[in-house]
A and B are shown apart, each in its own frame.
Chain A
Amino acid sequence: MDETGLRALLERVADDPAPPSRVDITAARQRGRRRIRRRRAALGAAPVAAAAAVAVVVSGVIPASLGFGRDGLRPGPGTALSRFNPLVPYAAFGWLPSGFSAAAGTAMTKTTDESGTRSVIVTAGDQAAGRLVTLTVTAAGACRVTGPVQDRTVVSTGGAHTQIRAFHYPHGLSCDYGYAGRVVTPLSRAAPPVRGGAAFYSPDGGLAWQYAPGSWARLTPFVLVTGGGTIRQDERRQYQAAAGWAPGPAHPGIPAPVQSAATRALLREVAARVSFGRTARIAFPFRLPALPTGWAVSGAGYTVSGGRQLGTGALTAGPAADPGALNVQAERSGLGSACKIVPGQWSRTHIQRARAAVSTVDKPGIHVQQVCAEDVAGLYLWLSLDSDVPRTTRPVPGAAGLGGAVHLAGRLRLLGADPAAWTTAPVG
């Protein structure tokens, strides 16, 4: 392949028929206005912001103010929260089908934006069969059921030919994921209530239900393909069948997947036994020094092992202007994580007497320092710190006081490779 060939191939892929856009320009304007207002307000209210951040960490939850039955749909018995504490995952699987394990999947509290953490995402898997199921729990007020929606999707008509058809669904579930924007999931038909809460099937094979007033959760089944890659839409049924997701008989004109009654019942059972209002905290292999005034933890990734939630994904923190300014990830060394050193960009350094590498990007709009060590106190460690708000020339408030990524990494209290010694208070 030469450059000409690559250009032609990229053009061809870019010309693929696109599904209807989910991008909402009005929402972007509204959210952008809120950010501008918050930024202006923060300039004169840093002490207030710090107090609010502490309140989130200490109390764990902020009760929502939404009323019951706002959209006329019956809610489940859960408690509605308008914001989640990223250090205390709010939901977990309470039961999984045979062969599934939360340990086989990964779990994540998604970093959103300065509006707070609005969703918790937990994945469980059956690696032997190549099946995954993702639980997405959104905060109160993040989602609402809409009227009819249209979705265009690919329908195989046999052989190598495909057709794109528009499907109309009676409802959609419109969810605001904060940083990631608003996503509308079509809802194909009503499902039996889940613990009394209104529920719907979605044409992607998932199940959505109102677990608490104004609060929605979704289960989405996936198929794991070893080695990555993509699955053609018309191959989806065969993969699902092979993985044991048990698609039902084909229904002409209905987009894949068509699920069997048994699979739908399985999803309803998983949904009914999801555990909400969890108070178990994530245990981290490090402790950061106190964060600057106005900073708060905005997200945390974790895996589940031995019934514990281990903070081996990235912990993010920052001020409202850049909630992801600081990223710290640590896990037991030797598990496959490696420092990706780019010659010319990285140089050697030491962290706590261990060999490490540091990269400093100092360009207009990007001022970030990253440091990585493959074995420091038995841990793989990666830390990055923005000194300017991305795409601006404004410094991240408080970042200068941290002294750069290398300095901060040197001040981390590293707790070793044994999770028994890890801490549920990773800051301060």
Chain B
Amino acid sequence: MSSRRNDEFTDYVTERMWWLRRLAYLLCQDWQRADDLVQATITRLYTHWGRAAAVEHTDGYVRTMLVREYLSERRSGWARRVSLTAEPPDSASAPGDREGALDLRAALAGLPPRQRATLVLRFYCDLNVDQAAELLGCSPGTVKSQTAKGIGALRRTLQPPERGPGDFNSGPDGLEVQPHG
């Protein structure tokens, strides 16, 4: 790879590091794992930099790589086996919002990886249903159902005393949300 392209890669990754780490953190719920994910993603990005730099929307290309890397890692036995350890978070949330954010983190951490990825893509990355489906390699219907189930699970986790199963029959996109058994 030429020096110029090396510099382009380095400049791009340096500029996007803040964004990449936060997106990875939302997916992993752990800064150390998030950094591992970003490291793996940019290593792969380097090997495909020619293609990534040539596409119209490089950020979208990189976001796809990161999310698929995350789901690929979660697919492995390693990720499933170590997730039972409750390692403390590496940093605090802002004072004042601390409890709410901690509760949300715990609720997000309790979601299955694909549901969490779906919510992050839809409501943090602002992808529409079709875009999220393409990135995740599934049907739009699956994205809708994953979204509904994810929001339903967050509601149950964040508002357990006030809610019963019967309250969760209306999800986003007008979908019916079935309570989990």
Quick check: A6 and B123 within 8 Å, CB to CB? yes
Tell me the nearest residue of chain A to B122, going by C-beta.
Answer: A3
Chain A residue at smallest Cβ distance from B83: A228
| A13 is an interface residue with CB less than 8 A from chain B | yes
- The answer to whether A6 touches B82, judged by C-beta atoms less than 8 angstroms apart, is no
A1 and B88 alpha carbons, distance in the complex (Å): 26
Greatest chain A CB density within 10 A among B13, B40, B83 is at: B40
* Binary B-proximity of A227-242 (CB < 8 A = 1, otherwise 0): 0111111011000000
- Encoded as 1 (CB less than 8 Å from any B CB) or 0, chain A from 287 to 316 comes to 000000000000101000000000001101
Q: Please indicate which of the listed interface residues A9, A299, A361 has the most CB atoms of chain B within 10 Å of its own CB.
A: A9
Closest residue of chain A to B72 (Cβ to Cβ) is: A390
Q: How many residues does chain B have at the interface if contact means C-beta atoms less than 8 Å apart?
A: 80
Given contacts A12-B100, A13-B108, A32-B47, contact A230 B75 (CB under 8 A): no
Interface residues in A1-59 by Cβ distance below 8 A to B read 1-3, 6-7, 9-19, 21-25, 27-29, 31-33, 35-36, 39
Q: Is A332's CB within 8 Å of the partner chain B?
A: no
Contacts of A134 in B (CB 8 A): 85
Q: B56 in the interface, Cβ–Cβ < 8 Å?
A: no
Q: Which listed residue (B35, B77, B106, B138) contacts A22, Cβ 8 A?
A: B35
Q: Which residues of B contact A (CB under 8 A)?
A: 1, 6, 9-10, 13-14, 17, 20-23, 25-26, 29, 31-32, 35-36, 38-40, 42-49, 64-65, 68, 72, 75-78, 81-95, 97-102, 104-106, 108-110, 119-120, 123-124, 134, 137-139, 141-142, 151, 154-155, 158-159, 172
- Interface of A with B (CB < 8 Å)? 1-3, 6-7, 9-19, 21-25, 27-29, 31-33, 35-36, 39, 106, 108, 110-111, 121, 123, 132, 134, 152-154, 160-162, 164, 177, 179-183, 222-225, 228-233, 235-236, 299, 301, 313-314, 316, 324, 327, 329, 342, 344-345, 361, 363, 365-366, 384, 390-392
**What are 20 A-B interface contacts by the 8 Å CB criterion?**
A1-B155, A3-B172, A10-B119, A16-B91, A16-B92, A22-B32, A22-B39, A27-B39, A31-B43, A121-B82, A154-B91, A179-B40, A230-B88, A230-B102, A230-B109, A232-B89, A314-B77, A316-B76, A324-B72, A390-B72
